A and B are shown apart, each in its own frame.
Chain A
Amino acid sequence: MKIRSALENYGFILPALSIFAVFYIIPFFFVLRLSFFDWDGIGRLSSATFVGLGNFKEILLQDPNWWQAMRNAGWITFIALTFQNILAFMLAVACDREIRMKNFYRLIFFIPPILSEIVVGMVWRFIINDVDGANIINRFLAQAGLAQFIHNWLADPKTALTTVAIVHSWKGFGWGFLIFLAGLQTIPREFYEAARVDGANAWQTFRKITVPLLMPVIILVAILTILGTMQAFVLILGLVGGELAGHTSVPVLRILDVMRDSSRFGYSCALGINLGVILVIISFIQYAFSNRARALTQDYEHIPSE
């Protein structure tokens, strides 16, 4: 009876497991295998040259373009973690309160994430660019008497990456907003009422109740932001069109370019593995942080609600 029950349970997860295996696990091992070869993606794999860890050695020691792409992705991630998530958090806190038209705001804030990245990139390119676009940002600056700030935002290496990061944040803040809002709504209202009765002001309530109880959610959003941003590239293609001499290069774009322009499929697989390893390390760090955050909030969980 027990075996039958176990088989039934496994039967339920089998479809999902099969899809996961076919589209993730098997390709992963295939990519891992390719990363040890020098292969152009055209000839038969049997004719590829085995190079062992040569591709990884090249990545670590001889590929400054890859590490520049990593640094660029790191900068976009930093902007997303700070600007994007703080904005999302503040808006979620605002919409968690009894304000007018809060459902309308919830809807509006969630529009950017559901738009296609390439569309967002091209629309913002049109908004920002002065040569082939409407130059709206610069026109606005001129109208506002801030002509000294008029700039070629996407073509100047000094501003291109940050411009990309800000547009990326605009596109992505809706996800954080939604998750933060869901997290805020799980905090029992009694805590706030009790704090108010005890004379706590809004800042104290926010610092002592909202932030600690929301910590697991904050970490979750942070990790999703890191994982999502480190893999971003479509938006950059739409906005800048490419790597801009390396200034807007990001890891996935780099992998794509190595594969497409240099026909080095084995090496690009090794780059993919390298990125994957870095993301796994980040995920483990997240796991450690989550555990700590959980411990931090345990005291609250033991407070009886009645």
Chain B
Amino acid sequence: MTDREPAFRELARRYEAKTGIKVNFELYAPSDAYSQKVRAAAQGANLPDIFGILVKKRDFASFIKAGYVLDLTPYMDENGSLWRNKFFAKALAVDEFGEGNSYGVKTGIYGVPIDIVTIQMLYNKDLLKQLGYQRPPQTFAEFLDMGKKIKVAKLQGLVSGWVENWLIDCFANNFAFNIMGKDKVLATIRGEVPYTDPDWVKVLTLFKEMRDSGILAEAVVTMINKTAEQLFANEKAVFAFNGSWCVNVYKSMNPGLDYAAMLPPKASDKFPMTVWGGAGSSFMVNATSKNKDTAIRFLQWLTDTEQQAYLAEATNNLPANKESLPKIPEVLAGFSKAIDSSTHPNIWDVSEFPVVIESLDRGIQAIILGEKTPVEVAAEVQKIKERELARKDNRPR
């Protein structure tokens, strides 16, 4: 987010020149440090007029239920839903709580998407050609086959910040959707399908196969995403798994890098490959702020076509305003194609227990490290899932 500071500062300058209202942007990184800052500000009753919430939907719901976030639905629906219609539906969905949602939040839109993110695989065009491949892998088997050649060439295969659980979670979910489909994934989250189901074991086995084939970069489970970005930008790795924000990052690290985005190679023909995507950053209006109306007017201006096009151009991020999309660079267009194949946990009507996600991610790390088998990990995750379901049933309502 901090890489966008100059662009936001410029927009604030333009807004002040236009309206006389001074807007002060404060950007923080990394995202988890920022999340803690926002929580602390909420507890200290000093949230800014506009803020972002970079957490899971469950926590977003807690912010709303605690009365910190303004319901923007009336503003979105003014003048024949003029504001609402500017956004990609998938971008808005992340900030939306539908009717009868499992979080107990009143139906409404509680955030304004600023940009869109899709998280996909990337490949280095030059390195693939050097290895003798004319196109990126279409199937998982093809992808695994590349492992040996990559090792012989003393390159790294797939790099990603897999020391961070959420990126592993994201990668595993892509294949879960591909192997068993959305309904079965959501049924698992609801507790109707166990993690010991053969389809889940198959998802976990993919990680074992990647480890065995050598397609994964060395030490990928201790890799932070910044390191993964450096390796890919410096042409030491053939593939990366990263979000569309990387376009700006790679540009700053190696402007000449020749790469493209791709969907992860399919492991099954049963269901389409689905990647995570939707609103990248969203802004929420502080429900307790005295400047609510001013804040909303600023956000309406910020998400207008001209400002969105400027942000997309200056920061190489996909705009949330669909009218600004034609003006984006080619690589970014590759990411934008995946919007239709995207989903996100924040738009599902159920969410997995954080401890279950943690045990799944740690289990996958253990598979990559060669310590546990997919069957063992599946059994461990299911055990924790059952414990959490029992705890939920026993919790006072």
Chain B, Cβ-Cβ closest to A38: B395
A49 touches B396 (CB 8 A): yes
Asked if B224 lies at the interface with its beta carbon under 8 angstroms from chain A, I say yes
| A residues contacting the other copy or chain, number (CB 8 A) | 33
A272→B356 CA distance, assembly (Å): 22
Residues of B within 8 A of A264 (CB): 354
A160→B371 CA distance, assembly (Å): 14
B222 touches A241 (CB 8 A): yes
A42→B366 CA distance, assembly (Å): 32
A38→B392 CA distance, assembly (Å): 12
B369 touches A245 (CB 8 A): yes
Chain A interface main SS type: loop
Asked if A145 lies at the interface with its beta carbon under 8 angstroms from chain B, I say no
Asked if A244 lies at the interface with its beta carbon under 8 angstroms from chain B, I say yes
Asked if B35 lies at the interface with its beta carbon under 8 angstroms from chain A, I say yes
Asked if B293 lies at the interface with its beta carbon under 8 angstroms from chain A, I say no
A131 touches B217 (CB 8 A): yes
A261→B357 CA distance, assembly (Å): 9
Partner among B65, B156, B354, B395 whose Cβ is within 8 Å of the Cβ of A131? B156
Give the Cβ gap from A154 to chain B, nearest Cβ, in Å.
6
A62 touches B387 (CB 8 A): yes
Asked if B106 lies at the interface with its beta carbon under 8 angstroms from chain A, I say no
Asked if B270 lies at the interface with its beta carbon under 8 angstroms from chain A, I say no
A262 touches B365 (CB 8 A): no
B218 touches A262 (CB 8 A): no
Asked if B165 lies at the interface with its beta carbon under 8 angstroms from chain A, I say yes
B222 touches A262 (CB 8 A): no
Residues of A within 8 A of B28 (CB): none
Residues of A within 8 A of B35 (CB): 260
B62 touches A40 (CB 8 A): yes
Residues of B within 8 A of A241 (CB): 163-164, 222-224
Which among A62, A131, A152, A247 has the highest number of chain B CB atoms within 10 Å? Answer: A131
Asked if B307 lies at the interface with its beta carbon under 8 angstroms from chain A, I say no
A245 touches B362 (CB 8 A): yes
Asked if A242 lies at the interface with its beta carbon under 8 angstroms from chain B, I say yes
Known: A131-B217, A132-B230, A261-B354. A242 touches B55 (CB 8 A): no
Residues of A within 8 A of B55 (CB): 263
Known: A42-B59, A260-B32, A261-B354. A240 touches B222 (CB 8 A): yes
Which among B65, B68, B231, B354 has the highest number of chain A CB atoms within 10 Å? Answer: B354
Give the Cβ gap from B260 to chain A, nearest Cβ, in Å.
23
Asked if B138 lies at the interface with its beta carbon under 8 angstroms from chain A, I say no
Which A-B residue pairs are the 3 nearest by beta carbons? A155-B219, A262-B354, A245-B365
CB within 8 Å of B: which residues of A?
Answer: 38, 40-44, 47, 49, 62, 129-132, 152, 154-157, 160, 240-247, 257, 260-264
**Known interface pairs A41-B43, A131-B231, A261-B358; 5 further A-B residue pairs with C-beta atoms within 8 A, sorted by A's residue number:** A42-B63, A43-B62, A47-B65, A244-B222, A245-B362
11 contacts between A and B (CB under 8 A): A38-B395, A41-B43, A42-B68, A43-B62, A49-B396, A62-B387, A129-B219, A132-B230, A154-B219, A246-B362, A263-B58
